[in-house]
A and B are shown apart, each in its own frame.
Chain A
Amino acid sequence: MMTDTAPGPALGEPRLSLPLCILLTAVLALTGCGEPRPYKETRFMMGTLVEVSVYAPEKAAVQAVSRAFDRMAQLERVAHAGHEDSPLARLRRGEAVVLEGDLARILEAGMAVARASSGAFDPAMGELVDLWGLSMDRPRRPSDGEIGEALARKAGLALPSGACCPGGAPVWMDLGGVAKGYAVDMAVELLVDAGVASGVVNAGGDLRTFGRRPGRGIWKIGIQDPDSPQELAGVLQVGQLSVATSGDYQRYFEEDGVRYHHILDPATGYPARSGLRSVTVLAPDCVTADALATAVFVLGAEKGMKLLEGWPGAEGVLIKEDGTVLLTGGIGDGIRFERAGKGIRDQG
């Protein structure tokens, strides 16, 4: 009697060929199957599209995200001059305003960057910002005379300091360069307090990550390519950090063949021409990253790099008009940056 002596698997055991195992592994890896998905919600607010993306059980996520949006809406009412009853609107009317709480902290953060940048970031740009109409989507090229007069009035402004602004002369503050960042910080604080383990709050590019990104541990943050709105100039890999970008490529208008963008140089009253196209700043908090990005854009590469190198915990990715990229010393030390854009290249 012949018997089959070849070893075989016991009945009921699954058997897969090697090629299929490889194929299965490749498909699962490529599709990211098994990777946790965040709960996401977006809303129009603070003049931009805000996305909150969290990793948490859905019921808890819905509640926490809703509260985070409520907090940001409350801050928008405080720090936006467009709201008639906001402290900023009242300051513009020359009314007495007590500066406290959130508004005082936003102003304090802005003034710290203003001092360190010798005024390259200036919270007193309200009249000039309105004159150019870029924040209100009514762009126009003001006359040189109008700009000169607004600059003179700005030079005479006594910015409120301490807790009280007694009223009198109108004070045209514009906190657009810091308020969004502060709102992001406060939203993250609220989400963490609510027990959300990790996520990203992104207010039109001013963003903050918190916790460990499930699946890969680190967060991947794309930097928009200044020349191609749907392409990335590069990708940052970070832990818990804030990131903000200032660039000349998104909000602008053209008149008589000249392009006017929205980042005004406080010294001239005209759009900054510093040789940079985009400045991305990384910092522990978003309000600082936000203000520093504007200041560095106005200062230009050399002075801007010095400002960042001297600011504790700040790093930067600067893209010049010719596409070259400058990185501060701390990039590569815990923070990775990979170039992606076609026109993006190393310095030198």
Chain B
Amino acid sequence: MMEVKTRPRITDGALLVLLAVFTAVSPRLLPAGAVGDRVLVQAGGKEWGVPLLEDGRREVPGPLGPAVLVVESGSARLQNAPCPLKICERMGPIRRAGEVIVCLPNRIVVKVPGREVVDAVTR
């Protein structure tokens, strides 16, 4: 049976270090809805990651033409989308786990990976 003591011990330190490493290297274990450090982009049958920690602009290809993924201050949004209703431009910016931008006509999905607050969203 495990004995619980109130005074810190050396083994505690080792466990704390392990815990810190475990949490740092495993983004999957972030709390639900936590601010993410990257987005996953799906377009043209491929998927790739884009870090949210470096500001920048990248073209994302789509059947209607390229859209621009803008990363700014830790969040991402789509800009200059060639689709007619521009729904995808209105969906951003995103930065927390589970948030997603979808461009249906141009077949682009941008999502912050990680544990989501809810199982699904109705919209």
Contact assessment for A230 and B118 in the assembled complex, using a CB-CB cutoff below 8 Å: no
A225 to chain B minimum Cβ distance, whole angstroms, is 9
Say whether A16 contacts B2, CB under 8 Å.
Answer: yes
CB pair B15–A20 under 8 Å, yes or no, is: yes
Can you list, as one digit per residue, whether each of B44-87 has a CB less than 8 Å from chain A (1) or not (0)?
00000000000000000000000000000000000000011101
Are B120 and A206 touching (Cβ within 8 A)?
Answer: no
* Complex-state Cα separation, A15 to B120, whole angstroms: 41
| A209 contacts across to B, CB distance below 8 A | 119-120
Cβ of A44: which chain B residues have Cβ within 8 Å of it? 104, 107
Whether B5 contacts A53 by the Cβ 8 Å rule is no
Chain B min CB distance to A240 (Å): 12
Number of interface residues of A (CB under 8 A): 55
Closest residue on chain B to residue A202 by CB atoms: B120
Report yes or no: A27 in contact with B23, Cβ–Cβ below 8 A.
Answer: yes
> B83: nearest residue on chain A (CB-CB)?
A137
Given contacts A14-B2, A16-B15, A51-B120, contact A139 B84 (CB under 8 A): yes
Shortest A318–chain B CB gap in Å is 13
Residues of B within 8 A of A23 (CB): 16, 19
Distance in angstroms from B33 CB to nearest chain A CB is 10
Is A205 within 8 A of B122, CB to CB? yes
- Which of A17, A224, A252 is in CB contact (< 8 Å) with B122? A224
Are the CB atoms of B123 and A250 closer together than 8 Å? yes
Known contacts: A137-B105, A230-B91. The answer to whether A220 contacts B122 by CB under 8 A is no
How many residues belonging to B are interface residues under a CB distance threshold of 8 Å?
44
Q: Are B85 and A137 in contact (CB under 8 A)?
A: yes
Name A17's contact: one of B6, B84, B118 (CB within 8 Å). Answer: B6
**Complex Cα gap A280–B123 (Å):** 8
Interface string of A138-160 (1 = CB under 8 A from B): 11000000000000000000000
With an 8 A cutoff between CB atoms, is A193 at the interface?
Answer: no
Which B residues touch A280, using CB under 8 A? 122
B11 contacts across to A, CB distance below 8 A: 14-16
Q: Nearest-CB distance from B35 to chain A (Å)?
A: 12
Whether A334 is near chain B, meaning CB under 8 Å from some CB there, is no
Cβ–Cβ contact B5 & A15, under 8 A: yes
A13 at the B interface (CB under 8 A) = yes
Interface residues of A in 216-257 (CB under 8 A from B): 219-224, 229-230, 232, 235, 243-245, 247, 250-253
Contact of A31 (CB < 8 Å), options: B29, B104, B117, B120: B29
Q: Residue of A at shortest CB range from B112? A: A230
Residues A11-44 near B (CB distance < 8 A): 13-21, 23-24, 27, 30-33, 42, 44
Q: Bound state CA distance, A9 and B9, in angstroms?
A: 14
Q: A213 contacts the other chain (Cβ, under 8 Å)?
A: yes
Q: Residue A66 at the B interface, CB < 8 A?
A: no
Closest chain B residue to A280 by CB distance? Answer: B122
Contact B85 A139 (CB under 8 A): yes
Asked if A204 is at the interface of the complex by the 8 Å CB criterion, the answer is yes
Can you list 22 A-B contacts with CB-CB less than 8 angstroms, sorted by A residue number?
A15-B3, A15-B9, A16-B15, A30-B31, A31-B115, A32-B31, A33-B29, A42-B109, A44-B107, A139-B84, A206-B122, A220-B119, A221-B119, A223-B121, A223-B122, A229-B90, A229-B91, A229-B123, A230-B92, A232-B121, A250-B123, A280-B122
Please give the residue numbers on chain A whose beta carbons come within 8 Å of chain B beta carbons, in ascending order: 9, 13-21, 23-24, 27, 30-33, 42, 44, 47-49, 51, 53, 134, 137-139, 200, 202, 204-207, 209, 213, 219-224, 229-230, 232, 235, 243-245, 247, 250-253, 280
State the B residues within 8 Å of A (CB): 1-9, 11-12, 15-16, 19, 23, 29-32, 42, 83-85, 87, 90-94, 96, 99, 102, 104-105, 107, 109, 115, 117-123
Which 5 A/B pairs are nearest by Cβ-Cβ distance?
Answer: A224-B123, A222-B118, A31-B29, A205-B123, A222-B121
